Amino acid sequence: MTYPVKNISISINKPADEVYQFASNPENFPAWVAFIKSTTREKANIWAAKTDLGNIKIAFTPKNNLGIIDHLVTLPDGSTVNNPMRVVANGKGSEFIFTLFWMPGRTEEEFNQDAKMVESDLQDLKNILEKG
């Protein structure tokens, strides 16, 4: 069984390696992921975050040269959500891609609201990176 997905992307006028370095650093998440208020490293690739939803755990894929920023988020209720993210070269800039899964129990309205939040976060990421 598969879940419906929406791939949300944004073009960023910065080189892919620069976007990857910023976006893959969990310390930067509060600057561009609206619901995350703070992050604290617990282990090598495991971070705790204070969010609008309560305290969560985030397990990141190790640093890599492929632009992969996949991470598993464990929510306060113990459920885990897979968040695939990619940075790929696009000319002299890059494309940032987030795959949003429509999880069981979420209504269409909630899924669409989640997508709008991701789109807003990606716009914030673009704005931060293109200013610098």
The residue-averaged pLDDT of 64-73 equals 98
**Cβ–Cβ < 8 Å for 83, 72:** yes
pLDDT, tens digit, 9 for 90 and up, residues 20-42: 999 999 999 999 999 999 999 99
Domain count, the chain: 1
pLDDT of 132 > 80? The answer is no
Sign of dihedral through CA atoms 122, 114, 24, 41?
positive
pLDDT, tens digit, 9 for 90 and up, residues 2-26: 999 999 999 999 999 999 999 999 9
In CATH, what number is assigned to the domain containing residue 123? Answer: 3.30.530.20
Distances (CA, A) of 73 to 44, 80, 84: 15, 5, 11
Q: Which residues make Cβ contacts (< 8 Å) with residue 107, sequence separation at least 6?
A: none
- Supply the range of the domain harboring residue 81: 5-131
* pTM of the model as a whole: 0.94
Confidence of residue 1 (pLDDT cuts 50, 70, 90): confident
